[in-house]
Structure 1
Amino acid sequence: MENSPEYLYHYTNIETLALILANHTFRLTSLDQMDDLQEKEAFDLKNAGQFCYVSSWTDDETENIPMWKMYSSLNAGVRIKLKANPFKEFENTPSSISEVTRQTVTDNSNGSYLKSIIPIADMLKNGFIAPGALGNNILHKVEYTSDSSKLYPKLLNQDGDKFSIALGNLGKHKNIHWEFQHEWRYILLLMPLNLNQAVDKSVKEFQATSTKILFGQAKQAFPFYDLTLDEHAYAQMEITLSPKISAGNRLIVNSLIEKYNPSAVLHESSLLGLI
């Protein structure tokens, strides 16, 4: 994949902006809740898209009127600019894991701990795993295509009585009709799997969960997940007001920035007075 851009842009409404600023988080939502109904589908497995969580951005720094109208509002919206891969990395210390597992975890790290954008303790506590979270590069450029084999990817690989499921093929392709979005997206697979138990039980649960996914019977752990923003990236946030922002909504945005992120830079829309 080509190198990711330095900055990305996200169109949203003022209510969502308030939650982002107050909580220092950004939400990834399951594919089964996307506006493109093709996204949750696969060639061979039903309901698999529910385990793929995404946050959609664009690399187009030029304001886009259809994007304002579809994902924000001309008079009550904003466009957020953040550096790419802006998520906080947590240190997974033995003490944080021991607190959840209630078992002693030996510290052989010499002070250098595995980092992840979702704490391992949170996965253990809430009964899910997110392998892609063990790092801070979950960003993918969306490929627009009319190739049905990419739009409806084949996920099941079978060898005799053994099978594997390539959920990593989800969320990376969209129909060419959406090409105007110039989309990049953060993609995480969140699987409902409780590893906070004996090894033999974890193995059996993994096998059972895989079988449920195979037959379309597995259920997602939750419909969305909020990733914490890195404080440096958060402080460097830039916010553009929508082209026809009302006086009241302008006051709301200014108040939110003053209260939660005074270092953020506020811009007028380049379309102000033109539409």
Structure 2
Amino acid sequence: MLKLNIKNETAKLKAVVLGIANSVGPTPKVEDCYDPKSKQHVLAGTYPKEADMVAEIDAVATVLEKYNVEVFRPKVIEDYNQIFSRDIAFVIEDKLVKANILPDRDQEIDAINHVLSQIDAKNIIKLPEECHVEGGDVMPWNDYIFVGTYSGEDYPEFITARTNTDAVIALQELFPEKTVKSFELRKDNVNPKENALHLDCCFQPIGKNKAILHKNGFLVEKEYQWLVDFFGKENIFEIDKEEMYNMNSNIFSISEDVIISEKNFTRLNTWLRSKGFIVEEVAYSEIAKQEGLLRCSTMPLIRE
């Protein structure tokens, strides 16, 4: 049996589900894209090729194995995108919460049944239908659970709005001993540089007390300021619009000292090393074209 344990984003990783890029299917039609960045690349003829994405994600598997992490992979579903395993479920403490994601993506959870079957059934939670939530919006951080949301009345009009207020309330009820802190995110169906698809597109805690942050991803300045005060200005790496677009906040922590990052994130990687982190660089720029990066492709199950 797998004994789930996730208290935060950075404790030493023991077991993880890593997405898979085999048989992702043909390039989607523009009208079938879930996010503005994919749409942009479909229109430009630069949508990523399967072989490139398989190579990128396998390089991540190699890094994880180097650090003795047990890596689970989804079973391959023909012609189906299964790269972003973070979206389908997330673990907090010893509970795995199944996400209510876009209906077109339902099969993705079935592809990890071989993992779910190793988890005590009473620790697998399915939220009520009205709770929309995806793992990219949910970040356990010790006594807190940080959640990205969008509560505008025009929520249904945004395919980029993935987590609603009902889900925030449900998480508070599930984990009454934690403080669930929600953040309103900026949504844009058209312009990827104005769209924070998930909380991890504009924020991520790293190490023991540091964070990567992008101010414009937050709709409410006071909420952004809360994070600045919480981590302390000197501990924050603020990314600009271009870096947000390239997913600089979507790196992945193997431990408090070791981070997997994209090799083109020169400014960020230099800063991380200056703060004492070991940075494992991988090429991930093809997968990034679908508005997801390293955190999106990983679903941690056990950290120390």
TM superposition score normalised by structure 1: 0.25
- Please state which structure has a larger fraction of its residues in strand: 1
TM superposition score normalised by structure 2: 0.24
Q: Which has the higher contact order (CA 8 A, sep 6+)?
A: 1
